[in-house]
Amino acid sequence: MKLDSMPRISLSALPTPLDEAPRLARALGLRKLYIKRDDCTTLGMGGNKVRKLEFLMADALAKGANVVMTDGGPQSNHARLTAAAARKVGIERCILFLGGPSFERFDGNLLLDVVLGAEIRFMPDATVQDMEDAMAAEAEKLRGESQTPYVIPIGGSSPVGALGYVSAIRELATQLSDEDKAPLIFFAVGSAGTLAGAALGCRLFLPEAEVVGVSVTGKAHSWLERAARVASGAAELLGVDEKFDQSDIRIEDSYFGLRYGVPSEAGNAAVIEVAQTEAIILDPVYTGKAMSGLIDMARRKLIDTDRTVIFLHTGGAPSLFAFEETFRGMAKMEIMN
């Protein structure tokens, strides 16, 4: 097992807290609920991508990179944290290829990208394939100019990036008492690298746990194969003989609403419920939708409510500020004349 000898750069104070959430647990009829606070990783306003970037940036430096590139939507947490990580390790240029609906304001993550000094290539309504093609072309061009670009795939979800979540599960295992070591672990699935890492991490360090990914991007079938492949790839990097196929991966796919990036009513209600029970801030794109899955499954008794449940908070709160119209109607305000 080579986890401790893989190239890694510290980008956060660790471990992140494991908070009990007794008020939310009571509201959902759960015996015990913890929230693993990976929103509190300490780089650039935090989130799950920090753990992946600890391994990805070490790899970039080992390869002599002086430019990093990645892609995502205009409110990508991963893009913001890649820009932050590049600053932290002293890589001068970070180019973000952002595709999606046109935007009017530089707010939420996009504002942080600006503050961090990332170069933004906005590609209106581009697909992931379009963005990856554009990155490959840019990388080719830079190599021609004797630069050394390092391209990070969307979400940082390569086998190298997934090592961050193998390591996170090892950390979590040390925070749990024996009676909590067979938990259900819920979290949002976007590009499935977190899921891949957590699946492998549980095999190695928390074998009685069950990982439940909640898709925020679409139907499960498109991600099962990818998650299994990335998990197997990460195992290979670590030199452990663990193989994954689709049947080893669980994704719930009834909670993404209309599509990625469009808030759902249940997701918004989850943001409100968690804020007003535990004072923990979720977001409407990832963690709110994932929590809406946990809430629904707990209330309908689709999960064993006596089992310890852990919600892995993957971050994302900066994007809340880009959804002012979604929440402003809830303001309890009187105008005093």
Ligand X SMILES: *Cc1c(COP(=O)(O)O)cnc(C)c1O
Q: Is 318 in the site for ligand X (CB under 6 A)?
A: no
Q: How far apart are CA 284 and CA 316, in angstroms?
A: 9
Which tokens in the block code for residue 148?
């050394």
SS3 301: coil
User: Smallest gap, in angstroms, from Cβ of residue 98 to ligand X?
Assistant: 14
> Is there a catalytic annotation at residue 12?
no
Applying CB under 6 A, which part among 17-25, 120-128, 191-199, 256-264 lies near ligand X? 191-199
Q: Is 310 in the site for ligand X (CB under 6 A)?
A: no
Q: Is 191 in the site for ligand X (CB under 6 A)?
A: yes
User: Smallest gap, in angstroms, from Cβ of residue 77 to ligand X?
Assistant: 3
Q: Is 12 in the site for ligand X (CB under 6 A)?
A: no
Report DSSP state, residue 286. T
Applying CB under 6 A, which part among 6-14, 20-28, 238-246, 308-316 lies near ligand X? 308-316
Among candidate residues 328, 326, 254, 321, the one with its CA nearest the CA of residue 281? 321
Q: Of the candidates 16, 70, 157, 167, which one interacts with ligand X according to CB under 6 A?
A: 157
Q: Is 47 in the site for ligand X (CB under 6 A)?
A: yes
Are 38 and 269 within 8 A, CB to CB? no
Q: Is 192 in the site for ligand X (CB under 6 A)?
A: yes
User: Smallest gap, in angstroms, from Cβ of residue 160 to ligand X?
Assistant: 13
Q: How far apart are CA 101 and CA 284, in angstroms?
A: 17
Report DSSP state, residue 66. S
User: Smallest gap, in angstroms, from Cβ of residue 287 to ligand X?
Assistant: 6
User: Smallest gap, in angstroms, from Cβ of residue 282 to ligand X?
Assistant: 9
The set of residues, in sequence order, having a beta carbon less than 8 Å from that of 59 and lying 6+ positions away, is: 7, 150, 160
Q: Is 314 in the site for ligand X (CB under 6 A)?
A: yes
Q: How far apart are CA 214 and CA 257, in angstroms?
A: 12
Q: Is 77 in the site for ligand X (CB under 6 A)?
A: yes
Among candidate residues 167, 65, 80, the one with its CA nearest the CA of residue 116? 80
Q: Of the candidates 201, 315, 318, 320, which one interacts with ligand X according to CB under 6 A?
A: 315
Q: What is the dihedral of CA 237, 239, 242, 248, to 10 degrees?
A: -20
At residue 91, φ and ψ (nearest 5 deg) are -90, 120
Q: Choose, from 12, 76, 191, 292, the residue flagged as catalytic.
A: 76
Please give the residue ranges that form the binding site for ligand X (CB under 6 A): 47-49, 77-78, 155, 157, 188-195, 286-287, 314-316
Please give the positions annotated as active site.
76
